[in-house]
């Protein structure tokens, strides 16, 4: 949450910073602000609401020309989304401008300390204390190169909580400094120019050369000295360099009205990329990047899948597949609950953390707890070099490319596919599936991109249906077996995008109370398993459709091609290709994404940036 941009170079800093903020706006859009440094003076502009509000103001008032600047797009924590609380925050003497992502937990005593010296605060934020402290500490720091970085280290040592801080000082016309603890920050290195960003999207239009920063590090960007990284005590650190494997075009809408539509359309390729290089010619799985030895994998006697939101739903699907293929017990848990209930973990527990962004704080904290308890941690992640994969014992990247829309789509499908790979790999290494059985499932996995393409090519009736649902107050989603997490995901997509009350239920559970919600005309979406599914789950779901229809529901049924059993009870049928039961979520989820997107669009809402949300949730 919150997007951060910093720049030192020879270009117009306002242009560079605003362009970076446009690409990072998905991280938070409660307010936006910039500060530039010219002729020994800091100038700022900040505005509540989306970046467009700030841009409008800048178009009218402008800022002095400058080649050094910082910018911020905010997801509010301390203090409401007002102009005053927008970043940057400037010290009382006007010398320092600071932007911040995270929460400074000990801000209250620090604020009292500043106030005791006569400082008057102009916002309700936790961030403002840093601006005042930094100005005071800078004044006491001996003159010389690296003075602002030294002041930042001194201040950072006093802070508790999670923070990425970026600061400029009026007396340092060539320097931007930043500090990082538990919040994301990457450095971009161009030709004689340097960038900071919450993620590489901030500077991808200028350079693909990036540096990873570790925890508790301070970085100085200097126009002539370049990039210097230290820990909070000043010891020099060599950052890890890497090349970003996607370009600016990947971060653009590419002709679609919404990033979400583009990302839905990219799903066949994204899933193909998740599988790329991991399916061997003999039908075996090749997961070289799983840096756990075969013996480690054989020793595992329990798996936890830990994640949040949509990634949690991917974990719920993983449980069915991993348990079925490996016979290892799997528990799936919300990351925000996991570490606070003292789960039983040891060296033979595998904890799979699933996160598109790799920065979700709840998931990161769960990961750390698991490692403290000596469990092995495997991350399934999309964002290369982010904190979660860096702190895990092993990582499987999903290679979905940048996901910008707040609602996760290709991130989810590729997480599900990566979970299948983990389950099947465990089965292969542990010898609980014969090579030909693994090869048969690998063939099914290879077919998924074409099956998603087939779904996408027949979405016009779903869009039409969506338009007819746009004025509803409530939608219910039902599913059994792997269809249950799909129902949860369909409901989450609708809630977050269209602000319509939606709930997902296990279809068999509805009769234990929630069926009372059904009234004349209540739309109920039912994810129907394949007629070939085990233990006649299909027949039971068909009965569940009848039960809700008998009570007045308008039934919208997602069913496999050729499944005619549903026809007598369905007001609307959405067809998906025949897919093996465990893999079906990869196709049945897609119409639900399209449905939610179209309903939100029909209601005139911002599909990519729903209210109150941010893409990457970096607070607990
Ligand atoms: O980046 P992560 O996968 O860790 O994010 C987890 C959730 O915050 C995320 O999936 C969220 O639920 C999405 N907005 C759902 O569309």
Reading the block at residue 112, the tokens are 């009292």
**pLDDT at residue 182 is higher than 70:** yes
| 123 in any annotated domain | yes
- Between 474 and 620, name the one with better pLDDT: 474
By the 10 Å C-beta count (0-12 exposed, 13-18 middle, 19+ buried), 293 is classed as: exposed
| 281 in any annotated domain | yes
Both 10 and 34 in one domain: the answer is: yes
| 257 in any annotated domain | no
Both 316 and 396 in one domain: the answer is: yes
Confidence grade of residue 332 (pLDDT, cut at 50, 70, 90): very high
Note the pLDDT of residue 41: 96
Across 166-184, b (16+ Cβ under 10 Å) vs e yields bbbbbebbebbbbbbbbbb
**Atom number of ligand 1 nearest to Cα 411:** 3
**Atom number of ligand 1 nearest to Cα 408:** 16
**pLDDT at residue 251 is higher than 80:** no
Note the pLDDT of residue 535: 66
pLDDT in tens, 253-275: 878 999 999 999 999 999 999 99
- Which of the listed residues 422, 446, 470 is the one where a domain comes to its end? 446
Both 377 and 467 in one domain: the answer is: no
Note the pLDDT of residue 3: 92
| 253 in any annotated domain | no
- Between 364 and 76, name the one with better pLDDT: 364
| 403 in any annotated domain | yes
Write out the residue range of the structural domain in which residue 146 sits. Answer: 3-245
Tell me what percent of the residues of the chain surpass a pLDDT of 70: 100
Note the pLDDT of residue 76: 85
* CB contact at 8 A, 179 and 151: no
Q: Indicate which CATH number applies to the domain containing 393.
A: 3.40.50.10490
Catalytic residue among 2, 114, 308, 419: 2
Q: Is the peptide bond before 615 cis (omega within 30 degrees of 0)?
A: no
Q: Is the CB of 406 under 6 A from ligand 1?
A: yes
Both 62 and 98 in one domain: the answer is: yes
Q: Is the CB of 309 under 6 A from ligand 1?
A: yes
How far apart are the C-alpha atoms of 609 and 24, rounded to whole Å?
11
Q: Is the CB of 13 under 6 A from ligand 1?
A: no
Both 427 and 489 in one domain: the answer is: no
Note the pLDDT of residue 208: 94
Give the number of other Cβ atoms within 10 Å of residue 573's Cβ: 17
For residue 368, give the 3-state DSSP assignment. helix
pLDDT in tens, 481-535: 999 999 999 999 999 999 999 999 999 999 999 999 999 999 999 999 999 876 6
Across 244-258, b (16+ Cβ under 10 Å) vs e yields beeeeebbeeeeeeb
Confidence grade of residue 28 (pLDDT, cut at 50, 70, 90): confident
Both 314 and 376 in one domain: the answer is: yes
Note the pLDDT of residue 38: 96
Q: Which residues share a beta bridge with 174? A: none
| 116 in any annotated domain | yes
Which DSSP state fits 528?
P
Note the pLDDT of residue 1: 76
Most ligand 1 atoms within 8 A of CB, residue of 305, 408, 608 to mutate: 408
Catalytic residue at 615? Answer: yes
- Which of the listed residues 446, 469, 498 is the one where a domain comes to its end? 446
Both 402 and 474 in one domain: the answer is: no
Note the pLDDT of residue 459: 96
pLDDT in tens, 193-242: 999 999 899 999 999 999 999 999 999 999 999 999 999 999 999 999 99
**Cα atoms in the Cβ-side hemisphere of radius 13 Å centred on 435:** 6
Both 412 and 519 in one domain: the answer is: no
| 615 in any annotated domain | no
Both 46 and 160 in one domain: the answer is: yes
pLDDT in tens, 74-130: 988 888 899 999 999 999 999 999 999 998 999 999 999 999 999 999 999 999 999
| 150 in any annotated domain | yes
Q: Indicate which CATH number applies to the domain containing 115.
A: 3.60.20.10
Both 439 and 497 in one domain: the answer is: no
Both 48 and 185 in one domain: the answer is: yes
pLDDT in tens, 428-475: 999 999 899 999 999 999 999 999 999 999 999 999 999 999 999 999
Q: Is the CB of 184 under 6 A from ligand 1?
A: no
How many domains is the chain partitioned into structurally? 3
Both 165 and 238 in one domain: the answer is: yes
Note the pLDDT of residue 559: 97
């Amino acid at each position: 949450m919150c997007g951060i941009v910093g720049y030192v170079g020879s270009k117009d800093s306002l242009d560079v910073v605003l362009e970076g903020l446009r690409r990072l706006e998905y991280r938070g859009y409660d307010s936006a602000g910039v500060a530039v440094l010219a002729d020994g003076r800091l100038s700022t502009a900040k505005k509540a609401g989306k970046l467009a509000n700030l841009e409008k103001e800048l178009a009218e008032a402008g800022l002095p020309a400058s080649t050094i600047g910082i910018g911020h797009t905010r997801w509010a924590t301390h203090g409401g989304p007002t102009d005053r609380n927008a970043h940057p925050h400037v010290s009382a003497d006007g010398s320092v401008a600071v932007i911040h992502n995270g929460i400074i937990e000990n801000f209250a005593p620090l604020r009292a300390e500043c106030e005791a010296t006569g400082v008057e605060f102009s916002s309700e934020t936790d961030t403002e204390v840093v601006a005042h402290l930094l100005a005071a500490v800078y004044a006491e720091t001996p003159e010389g190169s690296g003075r602002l970085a030294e002041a930042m280290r001194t201040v950072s040592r006093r802070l508790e909580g999670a923070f990425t801080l970026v600061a400029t000082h009026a007396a340092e016309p060539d320097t931007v400094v930043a500090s990082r603890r538990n919040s994301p920050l990457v450095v971009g290195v161009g030709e004689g120019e340097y960038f900071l960003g919450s993620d590489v999207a901030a500077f991808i239009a200028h350079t693909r050369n990036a540096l990873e920063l570790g925890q508790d590090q301070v970085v100085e960007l200097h126009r002539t000295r370049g990039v210097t990284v230290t820990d909070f005590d000043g010891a020099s650190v060599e950052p890890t360099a890497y090349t970003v494997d996607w370009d600016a075009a990947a971060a653009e809408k590419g002709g679609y009205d919404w990033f979400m539509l583009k990302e839905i359309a990219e799903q066949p390729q994204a899933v193909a990329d998740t599988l790329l290089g991991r399916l061997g010619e003999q039908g075996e799985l090749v997961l070289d990047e799983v840096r756990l030895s075969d013996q480690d994998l054989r020793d595992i006697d329990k798996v936890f899948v830990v994640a949040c939101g949509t990634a949690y739903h991917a974990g719920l699907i993983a449980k069915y597949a991993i348990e079925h293929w490996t016979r290892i017990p799997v528990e799936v848990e919300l990351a925000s609950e996991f570490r606070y209930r003292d789960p039983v973990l040891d060296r033979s527990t595998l904890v799979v953390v699933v996160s598109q962004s790799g920065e979700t704080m709840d998931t990161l904290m769960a990961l750390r707890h698991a490692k403290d308890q000596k469990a092995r941690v495997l991350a399934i992640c999309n964002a290369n070099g982010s904190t979660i994969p860096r702190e895990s014992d092993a990582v499987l990247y999903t290679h979905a490319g940048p996901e910008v829309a707040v609602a996760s789509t290709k991130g989810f499908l590729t997480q599900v596919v990566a979970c299948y790979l983990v389950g099947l790999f465990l089965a292969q290494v542990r010898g609980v599936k014969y090579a030909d059985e693994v090869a048969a499932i690998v063939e099914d996995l290879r077919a998924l991109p074409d099956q998603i393409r087939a779904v996408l090519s027949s979405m016009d009736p779903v869009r039409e249906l969506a338009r007819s649902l746009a004025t509803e107050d409530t939608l219910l989603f039902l599913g059994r077996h792997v269809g249950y997490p799909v129902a949860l995901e369909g409901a989450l997509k609708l809630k977050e995008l269209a602000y319509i009350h939606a709930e997902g239920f296990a279809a068999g559970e509805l009769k234990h109370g929630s069926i009372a919600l059904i009234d004349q005309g209540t739309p109920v979406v039912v994810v129907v398993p394949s007629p070939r599914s085990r233990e006649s789950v299909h027949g039971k779901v068909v009965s569940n459709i009848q039960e809700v229809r008998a009570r007045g529901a308008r039934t919208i049924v997602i069913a496999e091609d050729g499944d005619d059993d549903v026809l007598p009870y369905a007001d609307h049928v959405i067809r998906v290709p025949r897919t093996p039961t465990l893999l079906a979520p990869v196709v049945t989820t897609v119409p639900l994404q399209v449905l939610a997107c179209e309903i939100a669009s029909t209601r005139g809402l911002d599909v990519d940036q729903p209210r109150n949300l941010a893409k990457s949730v970096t607070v607990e």
